[in-house]
């Protein structure tokens, strides 16, 4: 039964015409800054095609009208964001880079803040997907501060474009895939086994505040409180140069003087922005906002 309906959906899935592709691409780019290159046209068909089937919409042109003008457009935009974003993530992703973060950024920062008598730390995880990255940072802070954590005000702001990802992050329950690079003792100490997966413990969860936010929305970005460290790993690869520049300038303004930006280990801002000072460590580069 389901096979039959699956094949019917497949047979009736429309092809995107070049004009429709250009119009959808521009619409998505205008809203989110996500740039779908021409050679990835199949992404539109593969990801949005089934949605057209569900809605009984016969063409991508009609779908675009639905996104722009229908009464359901706001709800449909949320669906669109979910379908077009790539949300791959995991806890303790890129261990080598996280060692740099722990030893070269977090440990000295905590020490200098403590010395100055201001035990307040803010970190921003921009493009946090389902929450594994900010929870990793919260666990690292627990590991570094131990009982002293009680005397700190720690605020990890975590944002994503996709409301579905933010809902998953807020639930804080993960399957085994999310733990592929997590040390077993961390899993034991910071998660509780539930029938649906492993749930993050409340003492970690309370350090993280999740919300939807579009990095293309400059007013929303400007309104955020300032951070000591901005994490934006594996997000700007989906943006073109213009959007990268916009987002990097938002991060620069958000950081306190002397603060750091951490990108994905394979990402670079070389040739895009010169406002940050790259600081090279054996496990990866971090970018400093000078004072």
CB of 100 to ligand SAM, least distance (A): 15
Q: Which is nearer to ligand SAM, 30 or 257 (CB)?
A: 30
The token duo for 85 is: 């974003």
Output 79 or 85, the one with its CB closest to ligand SAM: 85
List residues near ligand SAM by CB under 6 A. 32-34, 85-89, 93, 127-129, 133, 160-162, 165, 213-216, 233-235, 238, 264
**Minimal distance, residue 225 CB to ligand SAM, in Å:** 17
Toward ligand SAM, which CB reaches closer, 149 or 211? 211
In the complex, the smallest distance separating the C-beta of residue 159 from ligand SAM, rounded to whole angstroms, is: 6
CB 131, min distance to ligand SAM, A: 9
Q: What does the alpha-carbon distance between residue 96 and residue 92 come to, in Å, rounded to a whole number?
A: 10
Q: To the nearest whole angstrom, how small is the minimum distance from the Cβ of residue 135 to ligand SAM?
A: 11
> Closer CB to ligand SAM, residue 148 or residue 222?
222
Cα(138)–Cα(149) distance, integer angstroms: 11
Nearer to ligand SAM, 17 or 181 (CB): 181
Shorter beta-carbon distance to ligand SAM: residue 41 or 234: 234
| Shortest distance (Å) from residue 266 CB to ligand SAM | 11
């Amino acid at each position: 039964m389901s096979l039959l309906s699956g094949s019917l959906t497949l047979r009736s899935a429309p092809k995107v015409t070049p004009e429709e592709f250009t119009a959808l691409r521009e619409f998505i780019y205008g809203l989110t800054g996500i740039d779908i290159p021409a050679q990835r046209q199949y992404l539109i068909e593969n990801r949005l095609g089934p949605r057209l089937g569900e809605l009984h919409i016969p063409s991508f042109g009609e779908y675009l009208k639905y996104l722009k003008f229908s009464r359901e457009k706001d709800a449909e935009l949320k669906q669109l964001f979910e379908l077009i974003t790539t949300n791959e993530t995991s806890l303790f992703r890129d261990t080598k880079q996280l060692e740099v973060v722990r030893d070269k950024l977090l440990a000295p920062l905590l020490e200098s803040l403590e010395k100055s008598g201001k035990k307040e730390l803010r970190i921003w995880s921009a493009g946090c997907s389902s929450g594994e990255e900010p929870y990793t940072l919260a666990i690292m802070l627990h590991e570094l501060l131990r009982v002293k954590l009680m005397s700190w005000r720690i605020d990890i702001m975590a944002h994503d474009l996709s409301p579905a990802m933010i809902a998953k992050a807020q639930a804080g329950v993960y399957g085994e895939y999310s733990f592929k690079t997590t040390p077993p003792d961390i899993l034991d100490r910071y998660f509780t086994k539930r029938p649906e997966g492993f749930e993050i413990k409340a003492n970690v969860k309370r350090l993280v505040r999740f919300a939807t936010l579009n990095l293309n929305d400059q007013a929303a970005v400007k309104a955020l409180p300032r951070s000591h460290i901005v994490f934006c790993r594996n997000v700007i690869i989906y943006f073109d140069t213009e959007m990268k520049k916009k987002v990097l300038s938002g991060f620069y303004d958000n950081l306190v003087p002397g603060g750091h930006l951490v990108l994905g280990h394979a990402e670079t801002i070389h040739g895009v922005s010169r406002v940050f000072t790259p600081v090279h460590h054996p496990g990866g580069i971090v970018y400093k906002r000078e004072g």
